[in-house]
Structure 1
Amino acid sequence: MSDSFGPPSPFITGLRGRCPRCGLGRLFDGYLSVRETCEACGATLLEHDTGDGPAVFVIFILGAVIVPLALAVEAAFGPPMWLHAVLWSVVTLAGTLALLRRLKGVMVALHYRHRGAGS
């Protein structure tokens, strides 16, 4: 991305898993491992710690979505409890895997934007 248009959005770069400084380099080395530096611009990325923030947001988001869905399925169909356990475990696991990396990327990008490098 060009600097003439300002820095890239932390939400867009985080959701895409890109460097919060340039928007081009990859943010992650593995599924959740943040790279030490950006291969495109050389920004130091590893020092931007997100702690448990992404996991907390995943819990809140999935809880707000899955609990009403489970209640609606129970009210509409009344499936046995073992089916609830299997169904909602799979849905929760899939939702967690889908959201966790993206939310960690957003948290790293927001930390980079608001704390700056070396903070």
Structure 2
Amino acid sequence: MPHTDQTLAHIPDAAEILPPLKPALLKGWRGKCPKCGSGPLLKSYLKVHSECAVCGEDFTLQRADDGPAYLTILVVGHLMIPLMHISFVKFRPEPLTLFTIFALGTTALTLYLLPKMKGAVIGFQWARRMHGFGVPK
């Protein structure tokens, strides 16, 4: 039996079901609950709270795994390697000086970005209802 507009009328549009992606990503980036934006998402550097202290959203469903580390390496590599090349070609510093500056810069940028990327990945999962987010209990 072919589908007609009348048979599909009861199915809601996906855009109506899913919350907006950008606010969830930004809330996660700031380390806040992607649902309410008030409660803390992380309880230590990379440990995730089991639920939001404000709205009670369950965070045990998140599966960030290696995604934040991969994204952090991708961003840091794409920023630091061209900067290293430009600084070497333009300024010709001593190799040990270049290594020291860029090793410290890479480490600092990685440590700064990693929890932010983890929050953004969890926000993405929440907004796209991945791994059971949004399923009524």
State the match for 1:20 in structure 2. 34
**Inter-partner Cα distance in structure 2 for 1:69 and 1:50:** 29
Q: Give the structure 1 partner of residue 67 of structure 2.
A: 53
Kindly indicate whether the alpha-carbon contact (under 8 Å) linking 2:41 and 2:49 is maintained by their aligned counterparts in 1.
yes
For 1:28 and 1:14, locate their aligned partners in 2 and report how far apart those are by CA, in whole Å: 10
- 1:76-107 CA deviation, whole Å, 9 max, x = no partner? 11111111211111000111111111111000
- Give matches, 1:1-119, under 5 Å: 9-114=23-128, 115=130, 116-117=133-134
Aligned-pair CA distance for 1:12:
1.5
| Distance in 1 separating the partners of 2:35 and 2:88 | 47
* SS across alignment from 2:77: helix
**Is the 1:44–1:117 Cα contact (8 Å) retained in structure 2?**
no
Larger Rg: 2
Q: What is the Cα-based RMSD across aligned positions, in Å?
A: 1.6
**TM-score (structure 1 length as normaliser):** 0.88
Residue ranges of structure 1 left out of the alignment (5+ in a row):
1-5
Greater helix fraction, Structure 1 or Structure 2: 1
How many residues are aligned here?
A: 113
- Partner of 1:41, secondary structure, is coil
Kindly, what percent of the aligned residue pairs are identical?
A: 30
- Give the CA deviation at 1:47: 2.1
Q: Offset at 1:46?
A: 2.5
Which amino acid is the alignment partner of residue 89 of structure 2? A
The gaps in structure 2 that reach 5 residues or longer are 1-18
**Cα shift at 1:117:** 4.1
CA deviation string 1:22-72 (max 9, x = no partner): 111100100111001110011111220101111111111111111111111
Q: Give 2:41's aligned amino acid.
A: L
Residue 20 of structure 1 deviates from its aligned partner by 1.2
Which whole-Å CA distance do the structure 2 matches of 1:93 and 1:37 have between them? 30
